[in-house]
């Protein structure tokens, strides 16, 4: 009797254990309610698998995710918005002796630009694009919002020196105590044969100048038939792995009669001396999304903001080697032509801290007839040293007017006018 009772108890216990085991197994096959720390060993969808590849599983905890908030800059006059004064493509701000410095493309022409597609009509007085007939100007600020324009830093040289037609889209490098400005140097009105221009460099001992010309075509065009055969735009230097890494942009797959098929990619050129020679990375283009370049040291690698163009537009990406980028987050309303204040951009850090603010531009400040650009400030939390939950919210609430501004009727109103209506655009 005693034995029978023992055996029955043992059997009941065994059965209950088995049941428990079954329940546990079944439960573990379903994705849990509490966010798992580790990737569970259960069948998962592609999206769930990918979630474990991000630096944080919740986007709100992702150091490479942020909202962007915008502020108008004070101190810049735009001639009542008549299209004759434009400022665009700011460099990253640098902080020297308590003052922020920026450089940018400034156009001050008698008339507004006539547009990319009418470049043949451009003269010494009439600019084709917003960045035609420009010089590199600079401004200073103590708070990043109110700026004092200081004057030209680098002006167009006389014809036929490279850049005689226009200088545009500068960015700055600090290397061994000297300052280097890289910028696009045009020898013809932009739009004539695309946006044809290579990069020139000038250097100075102080951000105030004077600037000495240091070379032209420092990042040479690719050979005929190569993706960067006729443009090296948006030079954007950082110091990484003890060397100067310049990211640059080229639009490819476009010809004067076939601009709509264009694609944009970024290349990387590396040098040990700011004046070159720059060697192009064998895996170029290193980035197939994004328009203007924006790269910054982040942790032990390099991160980038890829905006406007490409399948992976509006993403932030990260790469350990500065050349092989993966998506880190998808963002809303990212800054156009972002130029963040990155204190460790040139320190050769292997622990990049990110940034919390910068400058950007809006190219549609005017109308298509009086087109000009303005610069603005953005704030965000892409910094490892700053945590502001407001920037990590996922909802971005535009007023209904913003959506209605985007009406089908206004689809081709872009001031840079690169897109054409299809022959048959009527809807059935």
Binding site for ligand AAL (CB under 6 A): 89, 131, 168-169, 184, 195, 233-234, 249, 291-292, 337
Residue whose CB is less far from ligand AAL, 236 or 377:
236
Give least dist CB 61 to ligand AAL, A: 33
Residue whose CB is less far from ligand AAL, 105 or 284:
105
Bridge partners (DSSP) of residue 194 are 191
Give least dist CB 150 to ligand AAL, A: 21
Give least dist CB 84 to ligand AAL, A: 18
Give least dist CB 197 to ligand AAL, A: 7
**Cis check: omega of the bond before 362, within 30 degrees of 0:** no
Distances (CA, A) of 322 to 147, 215, 327: 33, 25, 13
Residue whose CB is less far from ligand AAL, 167 or 380:
167
For residue 163, the Cα-to-chain-centroid distance in whole angstroms is: 24
- Which residues are within 8 A (CB) of 394 and not within 5 positions of it... i.e. 6 or more apart? 59, 60
Closest residue to ligand AAL in the complex (CB) = 169
What is the rounded CA–CA span in Å between residue 405 and residue 421? 18
Place of tokens 């061994």: 176
Closest CA to 237 of 229, 227, 246: 246
Give least dist CB 336 to ligand AAL, A: 8
Residue whose CB is less far from ligand AAL, 329 or 371:
371
Q: Is the dihedral of CA 20, 22, 28, 33 positive or negative?
A: negative
Give least dist CB 356 to ligand AAL, A: 23
Residue whose CB is less far from ligand AAL, 230 or 383:
230
What is the rounded CA–CA span in Å between residue 161 and residue 159? 5
Residue whose CB is less far from ligand AAL, 136 or 238:
136
Residue whose CB is less far from ligand AAL, 228 or 234:
234
Give least dist CB 348 to ligand AAL, A: 27
- Which residues are within 8 A (CB) of 249 and not within 5 positions of it... i.e. 6 or more apart? 231, 232, 233, 234, 264, 265, 266, 267, 290, 291, 292, 293
What is the rounded CA–CA span in Å between residue 23 and residue 260? 59
């Amino acid at each position: 009797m005693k034995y029978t009772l023992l055996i029955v108890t043992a059997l009941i216990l065994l059965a209950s254990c088995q049941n428990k085991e079954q329940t546990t197994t079944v439960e573990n096959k379903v994705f849990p309610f509490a966010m798992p720390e580790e990737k569970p060993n259960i069948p998962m969808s592609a999206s769930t698998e990918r979630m474990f590849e991000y630096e944080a599983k919740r986007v709100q905890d992702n150091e490479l995710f942020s909202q962007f908030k915008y502020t108008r800059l004070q101190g810049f006059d735009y001639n009542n918005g008549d299209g004759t004064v434009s400022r665009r493509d700011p460099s990253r701000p640098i902080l020297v002796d308590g003052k922020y410095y920026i450089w940018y493309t400034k156009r001050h022409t008698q008339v507004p630009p006539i547009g990319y597609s009418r470049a043949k009509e451009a003269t010494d007085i009439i600019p084709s694009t917003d960045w035609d007939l420009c010089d590199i100007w600079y401004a200073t600020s103590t708070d990043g919002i109110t700026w004092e324009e200081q004057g030209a830093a680098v002006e167009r040289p006389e014809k036929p020196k490279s850049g005689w037609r226009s200088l545009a889209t500068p960015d700055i490098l600090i290397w061994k105590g000297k300052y280097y400005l890289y910028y696009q140097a045009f020898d013809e009105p932009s739009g004539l044969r695309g946006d044809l221009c290579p990069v020139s460099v000038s250097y100075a001992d102080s951000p105030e100048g004077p600037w000495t010309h240091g070379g032209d075509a420092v990042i040479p065009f690719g050979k005929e038939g190569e993706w960067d055969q006729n443009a090296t735009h948006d030079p954007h230097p950082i110091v990484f792995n003890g060397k100067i890494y310049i990211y640059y942009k080229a639009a490819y797959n476009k010809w004067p009669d076939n601009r709509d098929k264009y694609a944009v990619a970024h290349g990387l050129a590396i040098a040990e001396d700011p004046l070159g020679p720059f060697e192009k990375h064998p895996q170029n283009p290193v980035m197939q999304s994004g328009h203007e370049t924006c790269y910054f040291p982040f942790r032990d690698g390099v991160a980038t903001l890829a905006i406007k163009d490409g399948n992976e537009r509006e993403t932030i990406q990260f790469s350990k080697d500065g050349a092989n980028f993966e998506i880190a987050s998808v963002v809303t309303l990212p800054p156009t032509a972002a130029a963040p204040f990155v204190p460790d951009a040139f320190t050769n850090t292997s622990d990049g801290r990110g940034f919390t603010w910068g400058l950007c531009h809006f190219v549609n400040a005017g109308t298509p007839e009086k087109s000009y650009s303005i610069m603005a400030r953005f704030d965000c939390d892409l910094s490892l040293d700053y945590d502001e939950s407001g920037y990590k919210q996922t909802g971005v609430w535009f007023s209904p007017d913003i959506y209605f501004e985007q009406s089908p009727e206004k689809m081709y109103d872009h001031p840079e006018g690169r897109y054409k209506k299809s022959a048959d655009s009527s809807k059935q």
